[in-house]
Amino acid sequence: MIEKLNLTMLTDYYEITMANGYFTAGIADEIGYFDLFFRRIPNNGGYAIMAGLDQVIQYLKNLEFTEEDIAYLRSKKIFNEEFLQYLSEFKFTCDVWAVPEGTPIFPGEPLITVRGPIMQAQFIETMLLLLVNHQSLIATKASRIVRAAQGRPVMEFGTRRAHGSAAAVYGARASYIAGCAGTACALADEEFGTPALGTMAHSWVQMFDNEYEAFKKYTEIYPTNATLLVDTYNVLKSGIPAAIRVFKELDPPVKGIRIDSGDIAYLTKNARKMLDEAGLEDCKIVISNSLDEYLIREVISEGACIDSFGVGEKLITSKSEPVFGGVYKLSALERDGEMIPKIKISENTEKITNPGFKKIFRFFDKDTDRQLGDVIALRDEPLPTGDEFEIFDPKDVWKRKKITNFYVKELQEQIFDGGKCVYESPSIDEIKAYCVGQQEKMWDEMKRFENPQTYYVDLSHKLWDLKHKMIEAAKKETPVAEG
């Protein structure tokens, strides 16, 4: 079972060398705070989708170093023997807060915050990024494709083109969270309950003397899943006529055809006409073949007659932009009971981090229930109250948005307390319903593929002041860091 793999050693080697360094230097138990966030929305979209949290939870629950792991590290001949003994008895003891899966997210926001012994909090960086970056990327891409389909079901068909087995399974999970109807990946269904869907391959048709015999046998075996692949030879001349003949003779309760090649708009319009003229108005038309949100949008605008889509490689790999770009940065330390904020400075202003122990406020309109904007605040700041609130765009501080008649929700929830999981993960269907519901709370202008409306993510005045004081102090004390 993919969820039960011990992935403790799936980490960057420098996480282990730093852990040994912290231990040897006697600072392993100093308390640090780390934020996981991302800097830019893929495809210049209006928002991204948080995903992968449940796999983060499973990873943290199962952190342990096996005898084989210790033996491997000992063989490197650079690690302190006392450090290796510590690892053999390792227990995760950090506190963790996170934004729930399915939530629309924006650059700079702390999606996951980790507080705990610096050696532990640092060590888990690689896996947290791997899990959240990948699934958030696929969920975000799937959200775009589902929107393009305008209510028509989208099936994730990319297993064979995924970048490895884990990418196939977790990608299927992420796509389902973001609104896909199901997946071709059987293991994802077995593991997570994402409905397994599919039709037939061209090889099934080729196994028989003609399409009629192939379709008839398949329909006899699977009358409630009779979606017939009609483009093995010629869609309009032989494929659809054979499918019509079988459907008329056997009259299965479920009828459908799939077209996997050719001019989608032309073929589906003619297919619909042929099916309707044969009295098969209830027969569905499924389209696949290297689809993405742009092609789906285009063929729909051309009047293509399509009931559902199967989307493969361009979804499961997020081919148009295959990197999410999340990062994991130290934001504070605790020493002698005092919190000391930390900041990373860069000549690239996008890479300057937000210091301190933080949280996210999300504002909603009371009348429409639509999202209005977010504020990143320090953890000790109370929820905003009153009749009016002003949000600034941190990239262009002269741009401001005055909010009235609002309510506020804090986005992060506590996941671990002292290493103990205190969060009950929702079911996959509950996450999907939540994701769909949260996207409905967004203005349509934010969902455009090109030039979406800017969503304001501001810093509280207290955090803004802290950040700029630290920037000014750093300028006086040290040269600006590169990268």
Q: What is the CATH number of the domain that holds 436?
A: 3.20.140.10
Mean pLDDT of 163-182: 97
Question: How far is the C-alpha of 16 from the C-alpha of 478, rounded, in Å?
Answer: 29
pLDDT at residue 386 tops 80: no
Is the domain of 229 the same as that of 120? Answer: no
Range of 118's domain? 28-138+322-362+408-443
Work out the angle between the directed axes of helices 428-440 and 125-148 (0-180°, nearest 10).
60
Find all residues with CB under 8 Å of 424, minimum gap 6, and list them.
none
Read off the pLDDT of each residue in 164-183 and give the average, rounded to a whole number: 98
Of the pLDDT bands very low, low, confident and very high (cuts 50, 70, 90), residue 19 is very high
Distance CA 87, CA 89 (A): 5
Neighbouring C-beta atoms of residue 447, cutoff 10 Å: 16
Tell me: do 327 and 433 sit in the same domain. yes
Please tell me whether residues 223 and 122 are part of one structural domain. no
User: What is the overall mean pLDDT for the chain?
Assistant: 95
- Residue 397, in any domain of the structure: no
Q: How confident is the model at residue 397 (pLDDT cuts 50, 70, 90)?
A: low
Whether the CB-CB separation of 97 and 448 falls below 8 Å is answered with no
Query: Is residue 396 very low, low, confident or very high in pLDDT (cuts 50, 70, 90)?
Result: low
Q: Please, which residues bridge with residue 400 across strands?
A: 392
How confident is the model at residue 475, as a pLDDT?
81
Same domain? 81 vs 118: yes
16 pLDDT more than 70: yes
Q: Is position 270 within any domain?
A: yes
Looking at the fold, whether 348 and 290 belong to one and the same domain comes out as no
**Strand ranges in 317-446 using DSSP code E only, listed in sequence order:** 326-335, 338-341, 358-365, 371-378, 388-393, 396-404, 406-410, 413-417, 420-421
Instruction: Give residue 410's pLDDT band: very low, low, confident or very high (50, 70, 90).
Output: very high
pLDDT at 395: 64
- Residue 191 resides in a domain: no
- What is the reported pLDDT for 338? 93
Mean pLDDT, residues 322-332: 97
- Look up the CATH number of the domain holding residue 265: 3.20.20.70
pLDDT in tens, 210-257: 999 999 999 999 999 999 999 999 999 999 999 999 999 999 999 999
Average pLDDT over residues 301-311: 98
Looking at the chain, the whole-number percentage of residues with pLDDT higher than 70 is 96
Region 14-43 average pLDDT: 97
In a domain, 180, yes or no: no
Distances (CA, A) of 250 to 226, 243, 253, 254, 276: 11, 11, 9, 11, 17
Q: Do 341 and 437 lie in a common domain?
A: yes
User: Is the CB of residue 379 less than 8 Å from the CB of residue 359?
Assistant: yes
Alpha carbons 334 and 473: distance in angstroms, whole number: 20
Asked if the model's pLDDT at residue 478 lies above 70, the reply is: no
Domain match, 47 and 92 both: yes
Model-wide pTM > 0.75: yes
- Whether residues 219 and 328 share a domain: the answer is no
331 and 432 together in one domain: yes
User: Does some domain include residue 272?
Assistant: yes
pLDDT by residue (tens digit) across 340-357?
Answer: 999 999 888 889 999 999
CA angle 234, 236, 238 (to 5 degrees): 55
pLDDT in tens, 258-283: 999 999 999 999 999 999 999 999 99
pLDDT (mean) for 68-97: 97
Question: Which residues have CB under 8 Å from 228's CB, separation 6+?
Answer: 199, 200, 215, 218, 219, 239, 242, 243, 246, 256, 257, 258
pLDDT on residue 1? 47
In a domain, 336, yes or no: yes
Indicate the number of domains in the chain. 2
- 261 and 327 part of one domain: no
Which tokens belong to 95? 């506190």
Of 245, 274, 294, the residue at which a domain comes to its end is: 294
Q: For 106-238, where are the E strands, in sequence order? A: 112-117, 154-156, 182-183, 227-229
- What is the amino acid identity at position 9? M
pLDDT at 337: 86
Whether residues 286 and 330 fall in one domain? no
In a domain, 34, yes or no: yes
Domain boundary among 256, 275, 294: 294
Does position 479 have pLDDT exceeding 60, yes or no?
A: no
User: Residue 188 falls within a domain, yes or no?
Assistant: no
- Which pair of structure tokens corresponds to residue 104? 């629309």
The confidence score (pLDDT) of residue 399 equals 67
Do 211 and 129 belong to one domain? no
Using the 3D structure, point to which of 274, 294, 314 is the last residue of a domain.
Answer: 294
User: Positive or negative CA dihedral for 138, 140, 146, 149?
Assistant: negative
CA quadruple 374, 376, 382, 384: dihedral, nearest 10: -30
Percent of the chain with pLDDT over 90: 90
- Taking the C-alpha atoms of residue 343 and residue 306, their distance in angstroms, rounded to an integer, is 52
d(CA 46, CA 43): 9
CA-nearest of 375, 369, 385 to 443 is 369
The pLDDT of residue 422 is above 60: yes
